[in-house]
Amino acid sequence: MKFLYPQYLKLFYLLLALLPCWLYFLYSKHHTRKILGVKRALTRISHFPSLRKEFIRCLFLNFVMAAIILALAHPQRIQERKVPQPGVLDIVFLLDTSPSMRARDIQPSRLERALDVIGAFSRTKLQHDRVGLVSFAGNSMIISYLTEDSNNILYYLDYLKDETTVNHGTNIGRGLRNGLTVIRKETEVSPETARNKKVFVLLSDGEDNSSELDAALGEVRKESVKVHAIGIGSREGAPIPIGSERGRPVYLEDDKGNKIITRFEEKTLRWIAEETGGKFYRTISGYELDKTFSEIALKEREITGFKNTLEYEDFYHQLLLAAAGIFLAALLI
């Protein structure tokens, strides 16, 4: 036990000094009444407490003062706890930026919703966790290497949000390979970061029209990196906006002038997750993404050890309640 204000404990000396005075006062009062013969008269006209009862009342009042003094000293219970120490988590987001991700079946669009949630995750991540960002469409680009700086990631997310260039095609394999490049480069520059847990989070509507995916998955498995695949898109699908004309959106059309409707393709994403030991997630409205990101981080984070910490629990309020109870008991005697 610890006292936050131990200087108040000195008041016990005063309380101990007053106790003999209280006892002497009680004895003198009863002795004087006995000599003067007033005790019998007082007993006839009112409830006159005996010396024993007055002594108990005096004792109770001293207990009240003792409890108040202890409360003023602010006592605290000390408890030792073992707190798990989380390891550093390196997450590389592989983000599909193909035209189909601009579909607005999820508001404001599939791509913008993904960017917003990645930004929110970056702002609330643990201090030493690191985030990398890779975009892919027909080709792939490393947007940001692994960094602890959330502002750096937020800057690049704003860049992708404002990007209007349309890059046709979807090459998930190229995105996976650039994700591996992010990890390898980081290990070369800072070998001590090799012990950090590495995870890929792939966000896409599932369409892949390249021939690189099989080989890329083989490389990912060789590096023992899990890929958690998140499919984003409604069941109904939506037309694909590729620009605007006179303030109106222009949609991708086929040879006959019909709007092309992008559909969500689950099979590829589920296969990627299964092949790498990750998990497949599905979001229809986009609102599940926050929970999904948190679940992935919680699931993949490793505990590197335990740290002993001391916790202090105040219990002065129990002493004040005890003082009030004892005081009431003294009044009823």
Question: Which structural domain range is residue 293 located in?
Answer: 88-301
User: What pLDDT was estimated at residue 113?
Assistant: 92
Nearest C-alpha neighbor of 224 from the set 190, 200, 193, 189: 200
192 & 285 share domain:
yes
Nearest C-alpha neighbor of 278 from the set 333, 170, 197: 197
**Contact present, 314 and 74 (Cβ < 8 Å):** yes
The confidence band for 38, taking pLDDT boundaries of 50, 70 and 90, is low
Read off the pLDDT of residues 120-146 as tens digits, 9 standing for 90 and up.
999 999 989 999 999 999 899 999 999
101 & 234 share domain:
yes
**Contact present, 269 and 229 (Cβ < 8 Å):** yes
Spatial separation of the C-alpha atoms in residues 270 and 215, rounded to whole Å: 17
- Structurally, the chain folds into a number of domains equal to 2
Mean predicted confidence (pLDDT) in 201-206: 91
- For residue 128, which phi and psi values (nearest 5 degrees)? -95, 0
Helix (H, G, I), strand (E, B) or coil at 48: coil
Q: How many helices (H) and strands (E) does the chain have?
A: 10, 13
48 & 73 share domain:
yes
Read off the pLDDT of residues 176-189 as tens digits, 9 standing for 90 and up.
999 999 999 988 98
122 & 166 share domain:
yes
User: E strands within 162-302?
Assistant: 197-204, 226-232, 238-239, 241-245, 248-251, 261-262, 280-283
The confidence band for 106, taking pLDDT boundaries of 50, 70 and 90, is confident
Name, in order, each residue with C-beta under 8 angstroms of 116's C-beta and a sequence gap of 6 or more: none
